[in-house]
Chains A and B, each alone.
Chain A
Amino acid sequence: MDIRKWIRILHRDIGYIFFGMCIIYGLSGIALNHIDDWNPNYTINHKNFVLNNIPEKNRIDKGSLISLISELSLDVTYRSHYFSQPDILKVFLKEGSLTIDLTSGETLLEQIKKRPVFREVNFLHYNKPKKLWTWFSDLFAVSLIFLSTTGLFMIQGKKGITGRGAWLAILGIIIPLIFLIIYLW
């Protein structure tokens, strides 16, 4: 039996199967590496302005707020409201929220949109579905080990693992070791 032939077949077909998973974990890996710099799940925009025509506190209700919002030329829809502090009104919108200081009129509009693709890949990367996804992602992890190991033996000769391939593989091991030495050990 030609082992190399089977390695090539398995490497090829398992590679095809887990192409999607590599993209999912690659994209979410980039997103999570930069989690301090951005929110991969939502795009959040803030806008400050001053409201001059706020109704008196005891007259604030759903109707008055819908009327107020309609005058703002904002493409938003009222959902509910409450007073987070005695003089701070929080209005929940389908698209985010308004936080209104009733004494000064200073208002913060927060608009939130779900960020496509990254939200979904992060959901999977964090293993939020659990259950069957845990098994499938474990299978993917084992397959990555298999793919990387079989990948070493795909090519024979000078460019294979007995030549150039060995040096590149060693380089790939040394780089994470350097980081471990510097930052952990």
Chain B
Amino acid sequence: MKKVILALSTLLIIHYSCSNLNRKPANENLSEDLSELTVDNFSDKIADFPGKEVTISGRVTHVCRHGGQRLFITGEDSSKTVRITTGENIPEFDIALEGSMIVVKGIVKELIIDETYLAEWEAEVTESTSKESKGHQDGLDEHQKQEVEAESGDPLASIQKLRDDIAASGTDHLSDYWIETIELKAKE
């Protein structure tokens, strides 16, 4: 038994040492020659990309403090941001990425916020505890969540606001887009 534990410990130490020697700020396998989008040119045509693989670069302006599951990148025009979420190969984003220029390869995801979505959310709010209703907001964009909290913390008010936004948009839904990471590399 002692020998097994010693062998496992030795393997662990060797693995840790080797992985530290090779460790870079983020995933190192990203191809250098991938044609990159920027936040500036991606934001305007994001609706064309759901389900597609893209490579995009930008400066990290914020990494989620609770668990590092999402970050935001921006480009020359800082009013435009793109939300990046972790993927299968990236368990969490290091907060040290804030301020760095990164290149992300990932899949563009879309959440359609329509009347069906809002009705389900509304039903949860009215039938469940407030904790469960908060859980439904997870699909929403970070900024929309912040709006919800800033307004009154009342999920029903935010549902109504989203209904108003849908009506004002002239379509039957709103879309929330983000990129789920496959590979990530810090450029600087």
* A interface residues, Cβ below 8 angstroms from B: 35, 39, 41-42, 44, 79-85, 90, 92-94, 97, 112, 114, 122-123, 126, 128-130, 183
Contacts and interface: CB of A to CB of B under 8 A. Distances in A.
A82 B78 CA distance: 8
Interface of B: 59, 61, 65-68, 74, 78-79, 88, 91-92, 95-96, 98-101, 129, 188
B61 A41 contact: no
A82 B67 contact: no
Contacts of A83: 78
Contacts, number: 47
Given A41-B67, A81-B99, A123-B92, 13 more contacts: A39-B65, A41-B65, A79-B100, A80-B59, A80-B99, A82-B61, A90-B61, A97-B99, A112-B65, A112-B95, A122-B67, A126-B67, A130-B88
Nearest to B98: A92
Closest 3 CB pairs of A and B: A92-B99, A128-B91, A80-B99
Given A82-B61, A183-B129, A41 B66 contact: yes
A79 B88 CA distance: 29
A122 B67 CA distance: 8
A57 to B, nearest CB: 14
A78 to B, nearest CB: 9
Contact of A85 (B66, B78, B88, B129): B78
Contacts of A35: 66
Contact of B61 (A79, A84, A112, A129): A84
Contacts of B74: 82
A63 to B, nearest CB: 17
Contact of B65 (A44, A79, A82, A129): A44
Given A128-B92, A183-B129, A42 B99 contact: no
